[in-house]
Structure 1
Amino acid sequence: MALMHSPQEISVTDATRRGVAGLVADAEQGSELVVTRHHRPVAAVVSIGRLTELETAEADLRDLALVLARAATDSGRRTSLDEVLAAYGHTRESLAALPDADE
């Protein structure tokens, strides 16, 4: 998956000549610019809509990685609430007998 759709490369010098207003106008029209210094990408100019899409895709990929990691490491073993309480020396009844924090 390409992060940018047909980005146009522009040097830092050309970007300076265009000015911020020109770069913003291009982004608003849907152009995606990659600013280069010595022919190496150093920055990108995209619309806020495209930035939102990229951030959403990043969050989705992070969630997918977490799901895949959990699926790969899941042994199938589940721990009940009663087992957890017992590990800490409690039962449901002993917790119910504790005074509320509001009291």
Structure 2
Amino acid sequence: MRIDTRDMVSVTELGRDLSRRINDASDGRTVVVLKNNQPAAALVSPAEMERLQVLDEREDDLRLLALAVVRMTTDTGTRVDLDDLATELGFDLDALDDHDD
């Protein structure tokens, strides 16, 4: 996403011109707010905010799908009992249960 430099505004300027900048954002223009000459925030329309939220959800879904595909393709079918694993690692599960009380 490219931001027009005309859509960059300092915090001070934003305070003087808030109504116009909110109108710009509601019209679909992203307004980048600078603090100490660094991007600090952005004003976006509700539609853009919703679009970004949908993209975040899709990104999470794709990450989970990729993890599932990796697990499905690398699964050997071997399963290990928790008690056997604890014994192999030197843990006493009964002692761990007593510690939780």
Aligned mates of 1:60, 1:76 — CA distance in 2:
29
The separation in 2 between residues aligned to 1:50 and 1:68, in whole angstroms, is 27
SS of the equivalent of 1:61 reads helix
Tell me the matched-pair count: 74
Provide the TM-score with structure 2 as the length reference: 0.65
Q: Which residue of 2 aligns with 1:14?
A: 13
Q: Which residue of 2 aligns with 1:36?
A: 34
Higher helix share: 2
Displacement after TM superposition at 1:24 (Å): 1.6
> Cα deviation per residue 1:17-37 (whole Å; 9 max; x = unaligned)?
102x22221111111011011
- Could you tell me which amino acid in structure 1 is paired with residue 63 of structure 2? A
* Equivalent residue runs for 1:55-94 within 5 Å: 55-74=53-72, 75=75, 77=77
Match of 1:49 among 40, 47, 50: 47
What's the RMSD between the two structures over aligned residues?
A: 1.9
- Partner SS state of residue 30, structure 1: coil
Q: Structure 2: where are the runs of 5+ without partners?
A: 78-101
Secondary structure in 1 aligned to 2:29?
coil
CA apart distance, 1:50 = 0.5
Q: Could you say which residue in structure 2 is the equivalent of 1:81?
A: none
- Residue by residue over 1:59-97, the C-alpha shift from the partner in whole angstroms, topping out at 9 and shown as x without a partner, is 0000000000111122164xxxxxxxxxxxxxxxxxxxx
Q: Residues of 2 paired with 1:76 and 1:63: CA distance?
A: 25
Identify if the C-alpha distance between structure 1 residues 41 and 69 changes in structure 2 by more than 3 Å, giving closer, same or farther.
same
